[in-house]
Amino acid sequence: MSIVVNLDNVLSERNLKSKELAEMIGITEANLSILKSGKAKAIRFSTLEAICKALDCQPADILAYEKE
Amino acid sequence: MKIFGPKSLSTIFYYIFKTISTLLLIFLAYIEFAFITDRFTIQDGRFNMKIPLTGSSIDGNYQSSDILTISLILIFGILLFYLLSNIFKALKETIIFNKDIIRNLKLLTILNLVIGPILYFLIHYPIMHKTEFRNIHNLILLIIFGMISLFLTYVFKNGYTVQSENDLTI
């Protein structure tokens, strides 16, 4: 998929663990892992909003488009 | 009453079809055993075989073609009810769009659209040596049943894709 999830980079910049973020935004660690690994088919605006709010970032910091 | 999922109509149908397929298998095994061990009577060229526990009996022409026909039809029936029971087993799961139901619907389609008609013509001509074309309603029913299961296979395939995408929406 040409949409890349850069969640790991943002998490390390903020010294946060996946588990902590999952708790903050109210999704399971398993679902966050699916999102981080790029296996997710779609992301809800509500989830994106929660991530941006928790990490104090923009959607573009998390998602990027790469030409295949 | 619920149609799908645990404790639903699908669960009842699963047990009904599983029982029928098991009973047919036992019946087939008994017939074969009875033929091998001479547990039947012959009168006027016809065999008569008592069915234990039911008080009834089956009879037919004592010819290999008739016995082979009965055996083949019973095997077809066992497979049909076994596949139906597998389909309802998959429907009694919480998530009904699963790979099991697609696989069993595919097999049911093959059974009705390929094996059924082949068996029909095989029994009609090479085995029973019939000259006229009779009992065509059986063949029509097989094809209708096969077409329905073919369409259902694709409905469940699409459902499975939608389900997978929904599960992977975070």
Count of the separate structural domains present in chain A: 1
Residues of chain A that touch chain B, judged by Cβ-Cβ distance less than 8 Å: 27, 31-32, 34-35, 39-44, 47
Average pLDDT of every residue of chain A: 91
Give the CATH number for residue A59: 1.10.260.40
The residue ranking higher by pLDDT, B18 or A37, is B18
Q: Name the residue type at position A39.
A: K
Cβ atoms A32, B158 nearer than 8 A: no
Domain encompassing residue A59? 3-65
- pLDDT, residue B142, reads 95
Name every chain B residue with its beta carbon within 8 A of the beta carbon of A35.
Answer: 170
pTM: 0.80
Cβ atoms A2, A61 nearer than 8 A: no
Ranges B12-26, B59-73, B88-102, B121-135: which has the least confidence = B121-135
Distance CA B58, CA B40 (A): 10
**Tell me: the pLDDT tens digits for B97-146?**
999 999 999 999 999 999 999 999 999 888 888 877 777 898 999 999 99
- pLDDT, residue A1, reads 61
Query: Which residue in chain B is spatially nearest to A42 when comparing CA positions?
Result: B169
Mutate to test the interface with B, among A28, A41, A48, A62 (most CBs of B within 10 A): A41
How many Cβ atoms sit within 10 Å of the Cβ of residue B126?
A: 9
Which element (helix H / strand E) includes A5? Answer: strand A3-5
CA-based R_g, chain A, Å: 11
**Tell me: the pLDDT tens digits for A23-41?**
999 999 999 999 998 889 8
Distance CA B96, CA B163 (A): 9
Three-state secondary structure call for residue B107: helix
